[in-house]
Amino acid sequence: EPRDFPIQRITALMHANNSTDIHSFVTNAITANQPNTIIINVDSIMDHPNDIAVYPIRLDYISFTLDVNADKREYTMAIDGIYLHYGKLSLGVRPAEETTWSIYPNPAEDALIIRGANAGDRAVLYDLQGRVIASILLTGNEDLIDIQTVQSGQYILKINNNTTKVIKR
């Protein structure tokens, strides 16, 4: 049965791009069942704080120290994300959004049906050389792309920034 466990301390070791100096950051201010953040002043890592060419900053090591009074069981730990915030700029990996549209049939013979896309989105069908074969503005209902005159082969269908491989017989 999964359980939360008390973390007593988080330690991170970091260094700037070409620096040989390793900087240690420790926090004991851990809030149970909440996201915990280590805030690190960039100036404390960089040899020359005015020289942005020193980037990137590397995370070399991170450790979690369990409370000595914790039960001795097996635990699984997950890091939800590591983000670099610099001024108003935020870099990081965000979870992918779930696709709510569907495309069928695949393989297709006469038409591709696109269901559930947003009205105003554009669907573009490309061949494998990157040439546009068909392009339609989607209504948000059930849209059709006529492929009766398209040669058999593999094609790429792009809707907004989502890409799906479509095969026509």
Tell me whether the omega of the peptide bond preceding residue 105 falls within 30 degrees of 0, making it cis: yes
pLDDT value, residue 133: 92
pLDDT value, residue 89: 46
> For all residues of the chain together, what is the average pLDDT?
68
- pLDDT, greater one: 116 or 79: 116
Q: Percent of the chain beyond pLDDT 90?
A: 9
Topology of domain 102-168 in CATH is Immunoglobulin-like (2.60.40)
pLDDT value, residue 121: 82
Span 124-142, pLDDT tens digits: 888 888 889 999 998 888 9
Intervals of CATH 2.60.40.10 along the chain: 102-168
User: What is the pTM (predicted TM-score) of this model?
Assistant: 0.41
Stretch among 37-46, 72-81, 138-147 having the lowest mean pLDDT? 72-81
For 112-154, the DSSP string reads EEEESPPTT-EEEEEETTS-EEEEEE--SSEEEEE-TTSPSEE
Q: Percent of the chain beyond pLDDT 70?
A: 36
Span 99-125, pLDDT tens digits: 567 888 888 889 988 888 888 888 888
